[in-house]
């Protein structure tokens, strides 16, 4: 009985072992059959990716224009791989993503960024230069009153410097003994002979006696013992050297009269703007001490000297001052106006991005794209900048928000490619 039980157990163990072996054989066969299928799929995917790279298309159907390193966007590569500049893989640039050198921004984003546009115009510019300076005496409007012969000052009518005077106003009475003797000589010669009288009159003129005094002598027949000195022009007494009772020598200056109808503004012109300033240009000036008042004038001269400290030239501007409101020492602003020139292309000055090395604008396309363009600029006037090269009349450019567009273009490499293309 025990033998039969042992035999039954042995047969059961054998059957179990046989089943395990068969199962293992079946599993092994199934694994062997499935392994080639996975390998084939991987190989197929690799082949498809290689084909896409070779053909320059992405899974979405977009065409790959080239590969680049976003951190160094200038250089382009014709195949993928590792960047030679950074520890990263090259990134593909697809058609329609600004790969043509520009950048695309959706209309909604444009509105959120507050982008405004300006049109390239053909117009004439009248550039104006804003300068500052100080008012000074006009040295071309100076008159000196002096004694023509030795004598003394009998009476003064003007007693203090900077007193205002009018043309013809009495300044002082002086006694000139030499003139008194010459007048008596003339009166005596007139009684003797007309020729002698004429010779005596000539000596009076050579002595410096004015025609007005000579006419009084001939009409009155009496010598004029006192001579009244009068102001030759209107203005102020800039210098007063005469005092009552003082003796004066021949030729001694007694008064210096400074005119105020035209006054000088010595304006500081930056060295870089020296070529824009020429004599004869029109100037409009205003003084801080006279708010609201405007004074017109012209540039009389540009002095041929540069200040070593400020690197400026001095322009001598002659301003009209009929009411005498402007006085020396005042601080004034001047706006130098140039005559309108020939028609030029111009764009809003705010549309020009100045990077230091070059100047850029973003041209707006009809499809919402923005293309950077390097431009050469000229003069600026009235918020407009002359464009000498890089744009055409009628083109639309970004006038506000261009720095955000510039940032987007820099990230996508548009700015770098602009330099590389050139």
Considering the domain architecture, whether residues 394 and 329 belong to the same structural domain is answered as: no
Residues with Cβ within 8 Å of 176's Cβ and at least 6 positions away in sequence, in order, are: 147, 148, 149, 150, 151, 227
Q: In this structure, are residues 61 and 55 in contact, taking their beta carbons and an 8 Å threshold?
A: no
Considering the domain architecture, whether residues 249 and 300 belong to the same structural domain is answered as: no
Please report the pLDDT score of residue 402 as a whole number. 60
Residues with Cβ within 8 Å of 361's Cβ and at least 6 positions away in sequence, in order, are: 347, 351, 352, 353, 372, 373, 375, 390, 391, 397, 398, 402
Q: In what order do the strands lie in the sheet with 253-258?
A: 142-146, 253-258, 235-240, 164-165
E-strand ranges in 166-251 read: 170-175, 227-230, 235-240, 247-248
Considering the domain architecture, whether residues 155 and 240 belong to the same structural domain is answered as: yes
Q: In this structure, are residues 373 and 390 in contact, taking their beta carbons and an 8 Å threshold?
A: yes
Considering the domain architecture, whether residues 282 and 329 belong to the same structural domain is answered as: yes
Beta bridge partners of 240: 255
Considering the domain architecture, whether residues 149 and 225 belong to the same structural domain is answered as: yes
CA angle, corner 387, sides to 383 and 390, nearest 5? 140
Classify residue 138: in a domain, yes or no.
no
The whole-angstrom separation of Cα 104 and Cα 110 is: 10
Nearest to 397 by CA among 379, 421, 374, 419: 374
Considering the domain architecture, whether residues 201 and 299 belong to the same structural domain is answered as: no
pTM: 0.57
CA atoms within 13 A on the CB side of 288: 9
C-alpha distances (whole Å) from 406 to each of 63, 363, 368, 385 are 25, 12, 15, 20
| Residue span of the structural domain in which 282 resides | 262-337
| Residue 325, helix vs strand vs coil | coil
Classify residue 346: in a domain, yes or no.
yes
Q: Which residues of the chain have pLDDT under 70?
A: 1-62, 70-74, 94-106, 109-110, 112-113, 339-341, 367, 401-422
The whole-angstrom separation of Cα 86 and Cα 69 is: 8
Considering the domain architecture, whether residues 333 and 287 belong to the same structural domain is answered as: yes
| Other Cβ atoms closer than 10 A to 386 | 20
The whole-angstrom separation of Cα 185 and Cα 269 is: 61
32-68: buried (b, 16+ CB within 10 Å) or exposed (e) per residue?
eeeeeeeeeeeeeeeeeeeeeeeebeeeeebebbbbb
- The pLDDT tens digits for 64-89 are 877 877 666 567 888 899 888 878 88
Please report the pLDDT score of residue 55 as a whole number. 47
Number of domains in the chain: 5
Classify residue 136: in a domain, yes or no.
no
CA atoms within 13 A on the CB side of 91: 16
Classify residue 177: in a domain, yes or no.
yes
Classify residue 131: in a domain, yes or no.
no
The whole-angstrom separation of Cα 155 and Cα 195 is: 36
């Amino acid at each position: 009985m025990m033998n039969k039980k042992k035999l039954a157990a042995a047969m059961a163990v054998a059957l179990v072992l046989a089943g395990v072996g068969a199962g293992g054989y079946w599993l092994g066969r199934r694994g062997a059959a499935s392994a080639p299928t996975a390998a084939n799929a991987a190989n197929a995917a690799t082949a498809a990716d290689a084909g896409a790279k070779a053909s320059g298309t992405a899974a979405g159907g977009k065409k790959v224009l080239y590969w680049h390193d976003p951190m160094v966007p200038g250089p382009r590569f014709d195949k993928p791989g590792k960047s030679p500049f950074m520890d990263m893989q090259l990134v593909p640039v697809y058609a329609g993503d600004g790969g043509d050198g520009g950048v695309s921004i959706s209309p909604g984003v444009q509105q959120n960024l507050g982008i405004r546009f300006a049109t390239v115009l053909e117009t004439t510019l009248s550039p104006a230069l804003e300068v500052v300076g100080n008012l000074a005496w006009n040295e071309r409007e100076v008159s000196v009153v002096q004694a023509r012969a030795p004598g003394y000052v009998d009476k003064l009518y003007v007693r203090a410097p900077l007193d205002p005077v009018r043309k013809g106003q009495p300044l002082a009475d002086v006694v000139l003994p030499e003139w008194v003797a010459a007048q008596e000589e003339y009166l005596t010669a007139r009684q003797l002979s007309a020729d002698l009288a004429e010779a005596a009159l000539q000596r009076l003129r050579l002595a410096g006696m004015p025609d007005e005094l000579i006419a009084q002598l001939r009409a009155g027949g009496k010598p004029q013992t006192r001579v009244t000195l009068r102001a030759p022009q209107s203005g102020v007494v800039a210098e007063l050297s005469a005092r009552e009772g003082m003796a004066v020598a021949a030729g001694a200056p007694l008064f210096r009269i400074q005119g105020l109808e035209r006054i000088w503004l010595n304006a500081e012109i930056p060295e870089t703007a020296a070529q824009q300033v020429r004599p004869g240009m029109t100037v409009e000036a205003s003084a801080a001490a006279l708010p609201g008042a405007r004074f017109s004038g012209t540039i009389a001269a540009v002095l041929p000297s540069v200040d070593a400290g400020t690197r400026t030239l001095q322009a001598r501007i002659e301003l009209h001052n009929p009411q005498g409101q402007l006085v020396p020492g005042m601080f004034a602003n001047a706006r130098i106006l140039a005559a309108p020139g020939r028609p030029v292309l111009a764009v809003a000055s705010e549309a020009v991005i100045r990077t230091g090395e070059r100047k850029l604008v973003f041209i707006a396309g009809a499809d919402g794209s923005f293309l950077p363009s390097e431009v050469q600029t000229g003069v600026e006037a009235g918020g407009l900048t002359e464009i000498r090269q890089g744009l055409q009349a009628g083109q639309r450019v970004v006038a506000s928000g261009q720095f955000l567009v510039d940032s987007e273009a820099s990230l996508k490499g548009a700015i770098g490619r602009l330099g590389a293309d050139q």
